[in-house]
Structures are given as C-alpha cells and as structure tokens.
Amino acid sequence: MKKVNVAIMGLGTVGGGTYEILTDNHDYIKRTQQLDVRVKRVLDRDRERVLSRGVAADVFTDSIDDVINDKEIDIVIETMGGVEPAKTFILKALGSGKSVVTANKELIAKHWHELEPAAKQGGAGLYFEASCVGGVPIIRALTESMQANHICELYGIINGTTNYILTKMTEDGVSYESALREAQQLGYAEFNPSADVDGFDAMYKLSILSSLAFHTTVPFKSVYREGITRITAADIKTAGDLGYVIKLLAIGRRNGDKVEARVHPTFVPLSHPLASVRGSFNAVLLTGDFVDDIMLYGRGAGARPTGSAIVSDVIFCATRKSHAYTDFGVSEHAGQGVDITSDFTSKYYIALTALDRAGALASVAKIFGEHGVSIDTVLQKGSAGDHASITFLTHTASEHAVKEALAKIEKSEYVRSINSMIRCL
C-alpha cells in the first residue's frame, strides 16, 4: 500500500471541499486505488477557520517553510487563488521536488511558462485539471483520450456564473441587474463580479484549453474577450423569437497555422446541444478530425466538483511512474509559426435605432453591402415618436468588415444608436 502525504494551501471553499473528500472518502480511495492519502499539513492564515473544519491543531501551519521542509510531504495542493503568494509558494514546492496540484486558472494562464520549467527542473509534476470547468474532466480528456485526433474546434460554456445569469434572464424574464443580484445572493457571483461577467475567468480557461487542444501556446492576452454586461432583455427576447438562446461561449478553432480564440456572448441555435446547458452547469464540445464531436457536461464550479477534480489529480499524480509535460513547450508568447487571428468569421445579430423615415433602411443596407456584409434577415418595428428599431441577421462575414461597417453606420444621419452586436453560432 503506497502512502501519500499531501499539504493543502488555502482552506477556503475549494480547499475545504478537497479536505472533505480526502477525509470522507479516505477508506474508499485506499480500497479502490491502493493509496493511503493523508493530509499532513494545512497552510492558511486563519487558524480558527481551519480548526473549525475538524483539522487537528498540529496539522495547521501559517508558514510555507513548514510545508517545503517536510520531506514526508509528496504533493502540495494549492487552493489559495490569485497570483501571489500562490505563485511563490508553488515555485518553492516544485523547486523542492514536490508535485503540485492546483485549481488556479489565472495563475496557470499567466505563469504557466514559469511553472512548467520549474516542475521539470525539480523532477516534479504540475497538475491542474481543476483549473478549467470544475469537476468536468476536460483536461484529462484532451491529454489522455484525444491523442489520435487533430482537434479542430472547441466550444464551451465554461463560466457557471454567467450561464446562471443568462438562464435567469431567458427563463424568468428578469433584467441583467436582477439576475446578477440573485447570483450574488446564492454565492455564484462575487461582490465584485467582474472576473466572471466581463469574461476574464473564461478567457483564462480558454487560453489553457486551446493551448492543450491545439498543441501550441495560446496566450491569454491573445484571446478576444467580451462579457455579458451589455446583454439586455430585448436581446434575450429577440434571440428567442428567432430560435436562439444567448450564451457566453468560449470558442477555439485551429485551421493549419491559423488559430482563433475568443470569448463573447453568442446566439446559439435552440437545436444545438450547448443551448440546453442551464443554470450554473458547464459544458465543452470538442471536435476531432476522426472522432467528430464529443461533449462533456457537468458542474463547473463549487467546493465539491472542483475538489473532486483536485483529488483526481492527486491520485493521478501519485500513481504515475514519471511526470508528463506539454509536448509544445509552454511560452509567454504565441507558439512559433502560429497566427492567432482577430479577424474571424461569424454570423451577426445587430440591433439599432434609426429614424422612421424613407431611406433609412436602404442607407444602412448600402453600407453593409459596401463592406461585403450580406444581410440574411431584417426585422423592423416602429417605436414611440419618429424612431424605429431595426434588427439584422447577417450571413457569415468577417469580424473586421462588420466592425468597419458599424463604425460608418453609427455616423449615418439616419441612425441614432447601435444597441447590440452579438455573434451567432
């Protein structure tokens, strides 16, 4: 029976869930995996919080040196979040030859290029299944199950907070502000929700997932990012009327040396499997050149789902004879010979307010035509006064062409405002 001693750094929500699993399922893991996993140290600033979870007093420490200098500790679990001091602590652990399991997507996305070399130099493993999509084993699927395929595309709903907000707006007809308040009350959204609603969380995750999927570094700074704060009840209703639902999608595609990576609200057809992903659930749809489509679905956040992924990594790490690293060598910059393009193609939903008079619609359509943007559907509704609401659905067009057309349309004498521009799947 192999004995494995672990340290947990940070016993907040995720760290607490991890400790609970390792404690409650200790005997089950011992019986099924032939591993005796023990929590030997818990590093945290709040002693009372740690002891209130049933952790023995002699297990608690507030000094990283107690973790690094303990030769009996094999694996360090980082659930502190943020960049510092997590980065410094992880580098110390890797440098001492201790493998690290982390759920820290921001840290991996920003400093993967420093952490992986440190792991190699220390002869240690670096595992981060829990950094993306909570309890859904997406990273293991990419690295252990899809090797026979070139992955062409991935589409994901990878942020539970925004999916919950958009679901409430769609199903209950509430405003963005009301849905956000409810998400905060339920603990899905932080007091400062920017990381979720402005798309940063999904951006970090997509950087990691697309790098693994396409076997090249896709830096987080190269991911196009747009959040959900401008989505209105009118957008939600129009989407439903047209047979769509709005989701914050993370989209990665590779075609030869061209890679696109983007996070933004998207009109998803009701017939698409991602359209039915509701509430705080997450899902990722992968397309391989031989396997075709595979979809993974489950809880994308929370103490237990994320803790489940962490413990899975602990077991995976403990049972390996040697540690594996990326085959492309993580860099701070885009992979050599790869063009991460910002001029992708899509269909577009565009809503604007124009003067309700002859020539207005023709003027807007003419500008679209001049920029090579073909119109599929037009809906026009009169409103109070002398204004009209006009909605366009375009055929597939380039991002740059649409934005250039809208910049010119916004200056038109007929147009009072461009209210929405949302890409369509």
What residues are annotated to the active site? 205
**Cβ–Cβ under 8 Å, residues 37 and 4:** yes
Tell me: cis bond preceding 85? Omega within 30 of 0 counts: yes
The full length of the chain comes to 425
DSSP code per residue over 92-158: HHHHTT-EEEE--HHHHHHHHHHHHHHHHHHT--EE-GGGSSTTS-HHHIIIII-TTS-EEEEEEE-
Both structure tokens of 221: 């700074």
Residue position matching structure tokens 């999608």:
249
Instruction: Name the nearest CA neighbour of 60 among 3, 30, 27, 19.
Output: 19
- How far apart CA 119 and CA 215 sit, in angstroms, is 19
Classified as helix, coil or strand, 224 is strand
**Cβ–Cβ under 8 Å, residues 361 and 390:** yes
Instruction: Name the nearest CA neighbour of 226 among 261, 258, 253.
Output: 261
**Cβ–Cβ under 8 Å, residues 74 and 98:** yes
- How far apart CA 299 and CA 305 sit, in angstroms, is 6
Task: Name the DSSP class of 70.
Answer: -
Q: Please, what sign has the CA dihedral across residues 272, 275, 276, 281? A: positive
Instruction: Name the nearest CA neighbour of 412 among 370, 367, 369.
Output: 367
- How far apart CA 334 and CA 331 sit, in angstroms, is 7
**Cβ–Cβ under 8 Å, residues 404 and 360:** no
Q: Vertex 147, ends 146 and 151: CA angle to 5°? A: 60
How many alpha carbons fall within 13 Å on the CB side of residue 127?
27
- How far apart CA 397 and CA 395 sit, in angstroms, is 6
Classified as helix, coil or strand, 330 is coil
